[in-house]
Amino acid sequence: MAYIFEVFAAPEVSDLMRTLSDPTRRAIFERIAAAPETTVSALTRAGRVSQPAVSQHVKALLDARLIVGRREGRNIFYRTDARGLAPLANWVQHYERLWAQSFDRLDDYLQTMQRNETNP
């Protein structure tokens, strides 16, 4: 059996995984995703993380293009950017198809075995 290895925008997917691997950053991302828009000060009030730490996590999410910001006066309002997760979703979708095909082959094999047992 030959295996074909493909590269799925490896640096981009790796960057997204690295960015979302931090539990605090992931929680901040989820809070941003749960609201239409939010600010660093609202995120700081909602969690047990200092404002500088929240700002650092927000910057990492911005750099990974998972969120976008909109300035209004002195505040910046952040929201998720669905396009940011697209490379990760595409990568996962590839493996979803791979597993579905594997399970289909296993199902075919098990059905063949059952037929062979009932009709020796």
pTM: 0.72
Class of domain 10-118: mainly alpha
Segments making up each domain of the chain, as ranges: 10-118
| Structure confidence by residue, pLDDT tens digits, 31-82 | 999 999 999 999 999 888 999 999 999 999 999 999 999 999 999 999 999 8
pLDDT digits (tens, 9 = 90+) for 68-85: 999 999 999 999 998 899
SS3 string, the chain, reads: CCCCCCCCCHHHHHHHHHHHHCHHHHHHHHHHHHCCCECHHHHHHHCCCCHHHHHHHHHHHHHCCCEEEEEECCEEEEEECHHHHHHHHHHHHHHHHHHHHHHHHHHHHHHHHHHHHHCC
